[in-house]
Amino acid sequence: MIMIADEIIRIDKFISDELEEIPREKIKDFIKDKKIKVNNSSVKPSFKLSEGDEIEIDDSLFHVPELKAEDMDLKVVFENDDYAIIDKDSNVIVHPAGKIITGTLVNGLLGKYGYDGLSHIGGDDRPGIVHRLDKDTTGLIAITKNNASYKYFKKMFETRKVDKYYYAIVFGNFDKKKGTIDNFMDRDVHNRRKMAVRNTGRRAVSHYEVISEVEGFSLLRIKIETGRTHQIRVHMTHINHPILGDPVYGNVKHNFNLDHQLLHCGKVGFKNMGGDYVTYEATPHEDFLKYQKILGLGDKNVFEN
């Protein structure tokens, strides 16, 4: 597996943030055992990365039981020989993690494209996967079909050259209908499974715009510059506008029958491998539209403007 550093940070922390399923102490051992190298050289766990450093991780560290191809109703928005854009459903984990080795998007991709029809340098448990969406976040995710396209897309995501637009229904109303949240995010000191806005960590930038609102609720369009774990969910809670249905970061009691956040990646844009700027869109899913209507947030097309 090859990763590209996008900031100055200790290598053990960088990898721990990126590969949440591997404990940091194990990562330190892997670095000491020379199974993780930087620019083809051995380093110490305390080595500080520079932007653009190439990190090579021995694929043996990602050994998982053989993944099974599964039939899955994948919503393919676009595909060519190099990549596909998939509209992911809620309650779908992107790739295997821990004991979860079935029912993931990867299993569905193997069923549709086969192992040879997907990139594989991102790890044996992540064929085709170049970035992630949370389990219950719906919408667009790019899948790479060969190693050349994986390297191209990985570089684009790491250098922030992919435009990503999300839509969310949040609690509360805004005095300013447009705004930017720019701060740092790191692991929550009280719960390592959660992220939090802190004085340390990695910079996270989100731009939001109110599309429509009623008393107590707002429909937002959010463009993210960075792609930190749970970024939008943490940012919205940080400014006291948690996403409706968020079971982890939502801190507002409600009477709605929701067990997942109403957050949807509805539009992405980037330069393809031929140099042309392309965009892809996916309408929010049934649950999202249902609550948009119930709350009286209208049927305004989220793709306007």
CA dist list (Å): 253 to 173, 243, 244, 246, 265 = 16, 12, 10, 11, 25
**Catalytic one of 134, 175, 182, 276:** 134
Do strands 138-144 and 263-271 pair parallel, antiparallel, or not at all (unpaired)? Answer: parallel
Active-site annotation holds for 73: no
Mapping DSSP onto H, E and C, the string for 228-260 reads: CCCHHHHHHHHCCCCECCCCCCCCCCCCCCCCC
Rounded CA-CA distance 178/240 in Å is: 15
DSSP state letters, 72-103? ---EEEEE-SSEEEEEEPTT--SS-BTTB-SS
85, 141 Cβ separation under 8 angstroms: yes
Cβ neighbours for 264, distance < 8 A, ≥ 6 positions apart: 137, 138, 139, 166, 167, 168, 282, 284, 285, 288
Q: Catalogue the active-site residues.
A: 134
